[in-house]
Amino acid sequence: MISDYLTSNCLAKRWSLSPYTIRFWRISGKGPNYLKLNGRVLYRPEDIELFEKDKLRQHTSEPKKKN
Looking at the structure of the chain, the number of domains it has is 1
Sequential pLDDT tens for the chain (67 residues): 667 999 999 999 999 999 999 999 999 999 999 999 999 999 999 999 999 999 888 888 867 666 5
37 located within any domain: yes
Q: What are the phi and psi torsion angles at 63 (to 5°)?
A: -65, 150
Q: Which domain holds residue 33?
A: 2-54
67 located within any domain: no
25 located within any domain: yes
What is the b/e burial string over 12-37, where b = at least 16 CB atoms within 10 angstroms of the residue's CB?
beeeeeeeeebeebbeeeebbebeee
List Cα–Cα distances, 18 to 11, 14, 32, in angstroms: 9, 10, 15
pLDDT score for 3: 77
Residues β-bridged to residue 35: 42
Q: Which domain CATH number covers 43?
A: 1.10.1660
The whole-model pTM stands at: 0.81
